[in-house]
Amino acid sequence: MTAMEFTRHGALLVPAGTLPAEAGEIDCPAAPDPVSAPVAAPQMSARPSRVERRRARRDADARAARAAVLAGETKKVQRWTARAAEARHLRRLLLDPDVQAVRLMRQRARWSAMAWSALVFALLFTMVNVQRFAAGHADPWSPMWIVAWLVDPAFSILLVGLLIARGHLSAVRRRVTEPIVKRVEYGLLAATAAMNVAPELTQRFPGGIAEQVASVVLHLLVPLLAFAAASVITLIQDHFAAAIAALTNPPDGGLPTGINLHEHPDTTAAMVELSADDRKLLDAVRHAITSGDLNTDPNGYAIYRRVMGGRGDKTRAYRIATAVNGWRPDLHAVA
């Protein structure tokens, strides 16, 4: 007995060959079993390698560089733009009055150190020659020999002191014009020079007259160097002080902005009530105007700096400025 083959038709099983094949079922292969069919693995995107990333970065940098060149923002332009901004900021700082005043003060200190060094060296040179002249034939370390070392400092200290005092007084517009001061200065210089040259005139030189003349000239020039150094020290310091004051004070005698100004009373100079201390200050201001140390009708800042010495209550200076306004020597106050 043979087994029969059945074919599924819809929900029924019928013997094979009893039903005709439908159109579309002749050539259609059987659908694969979803359970037994292999599943294809999904395709994973490949990660770019390090070389590709570097190449991409180089390409991006090249595109950015071309865009910067086309826009005019190259590295050189950016570097010089930064330099220009730095230079503008630095110039503003260097033009600041306080910065300029500090730089001038430092330059004045350096100049003073150099000038005083030249003065000290010249005085040391003259001191040795004057000691030889003053000691004469005295034995070394004898009282006469020791005291001879003090002769040149006695002349030099007085000469330098006169020059420095005259320079400081001129800085506050107090000129020393008495002829006696000039005579003393030139007399001290001549005495120092003579004591330096005298030993060279009496000494014999192996080179003869030419060597002696050269030595005499040298011993004349060194005292002149000391005198010149002492003279210019005070003058240059006065100019430095004037330059610093011009930077910190407004021009034309205006009132400075760095001081808190107080309102002046509305009364005239004759109606201002002054205390005993203010009266003394008023007399000092009038004396300064009479002597030329202050201009007529000075402002409070000028009184505070030149009469009060930059110390005390600034309010008093502005109060006295109101009181002295319109005053002239030998005249009454003008309302």
Q: Following CA atoms 158, 166, 187, 226 in sequence, which dihedral angle do they give, to the nearest 10 degrees?
A: 70
pLDDT of residue 70: 72
pLDDT of residue 33: 52
Is this structure's pTM higher than 0.85? no
With contact defined as beta carbons under 8 Å apart, do 325 and 269 qualify? yes
What residue spans define the domains of the chain? 59-94, 101-248, 254-335
pLDDT of residue 56: 86
Residue 93's Cβ-count burial label (10 Å; 0-12, 13-18, 19+) is exposed
pLDDT by residue (tens digit) across 210-261?
A: 888 888 888 888 888 888 887 788 778 778 878 887 877 655 444 444 333 3
With 70 as the cut, is the pLDDT of residue 330 above it? no
Round to whole Å and give the CA distance between 85 and 80.
9
| pLDDT confidence bin for 14, thresholds 50/70/90 | low
With 50 as the cut, is the pLDDT of residue 320 above it? yes
Token readout for 49 is 């390698």
pLDDT by residue (tens digit) across 115-158?
A: 888 888 888 888 888 888 888 888 888 989 999 999 888 888 88
Between 30 and 23, whose confidence is greater?
30
pLDDT of residue 197: 86
Token readout for 62 is 């090249």
Complete DSSP assignment for 154-197: HHHHHHHHHHHHHHHHHHTT-----HHHHHHHHHHHHHHHHHHH
Between 11 and 264, whose confidence is greater?
11
| pLDDT confidence bin for 21, thresholds 50/70/90 | low
pLDDT by residue (tens digit) across 66-101?
A: 777 777 677 788 888 888 888 888 888 888 888 888
3-state helix, strand, coil split of the chain in percent (to 5) is 65, 0, 35
Mean model confidence pLDDT for the chain: 75
